[in-house]
Amino acid sequence: MSRIDESRPFIPVRIAVLTVSDTRSLEEDKSGATLAARIEDAGHVLAERAIVTDEHQRIAGTVLDWAKRDDIEVIITTGGTGFTGRDVTPEALEPLFDKRMDGFSALFHRISYDKIGTSTIQSRATAGLISQTFVFVLPGSPGACKDAWDGILKLQLDYRHMPCNFVEIMPRLDEHLKRGGGKSA
């Protein structure tokens, strides 16, 4: 069973939050604010926070720029995962993934189902790696952001979480580049 190993040190992670919305400003962005507060409350560093409109190129461009930065290790997006015509976040980001994280979507939907039932099917939450940076694509509701952070990300971004976590593998995410294979940034 999972547990926190108190003998291990806590290692802060540098996390960027991108809200995808045609209608919200930074002041009105409850989902981004929810994530930012949880990131900082957990002891991590909020490295960047921004809002972009539901436009494929703006979403992809911002995430690619952030993924190339040395001061950002994780990117969390919120918004644009539904089925309306303007919901394009998965289409903008999934083609950029060097590796997909299918388990994230499965676990997110399991947690979400316990809270909102079959309505979870309307989310296309996803995750993967872009240029050795973890990218998590969340729905645009504060509740979904809470569920993803509290139920998955808070633990997986804690080096003390056992039996395994993302922080302990971060130094090895570029092994394929050192061997001469895979994609480069």
pTM attached to this predicted model: 0.94
Q: Does residue 184 lie in a domain region?
A: no
* Cβ partners under 8 Å of residue 61, min gap 6: none
Overall average pLDDT of the 162-176 stretch = 90
Q: Is 59 a domain residue? A: yes
Per the domain annotation, does 183 fall within a domain?
Answer: no
pLDDT greater than 90 at residue 176: no
User: Would you place residue 64 in the very low, low, confident or very high pLDDT band (cuts 50, 70, 90)?
Assistant: very high
In a domain, 159, yes or no: yes
| Residue 137 within a domain | yes
Annotate 35-78 with DSSP letters as a single string. Answer: HHHHHHHTT-EEEEEEEE-S-HHHHHHHHHHHHT-TT-SEEEEE
Structure tokens at 184: 């480069």
Residue 152: Cβ within 10 Å count? 18
The answer to whether 127 and 105 are in contact (CB under 8 A) is yes
Give residue for tokens 């302990």: 168
Domain total of the chain? 1
The whole-number average pLDDT for the span 71-88 is: 96
Query: Does residue 184 register a pLDDT over 90?
Result: no
Instruction: Give a yes or no: residue 172 inside a domain.
Output: yes
What CATH number does the domain containing 146 carry?
Answer: 3.40.980.10
Measure Cα distances from 91 to 52, 97, 172, 181 in Å.
15, 11, 27, 25
Task: Identify the CA nearest to 140 among candidates 44, 9, 28.
Answer: 28
* 73 within a domain of the structure (yes/no): yes
Q: Is the pLDDT of residue 165 over 90?
A: yes
In terms of residue numbers, what domain contains 163? 3-178
Express each pLDDT in 121-141 by its tens digit: 999 999 999 999 999 999 999
100 three-class SS: strand
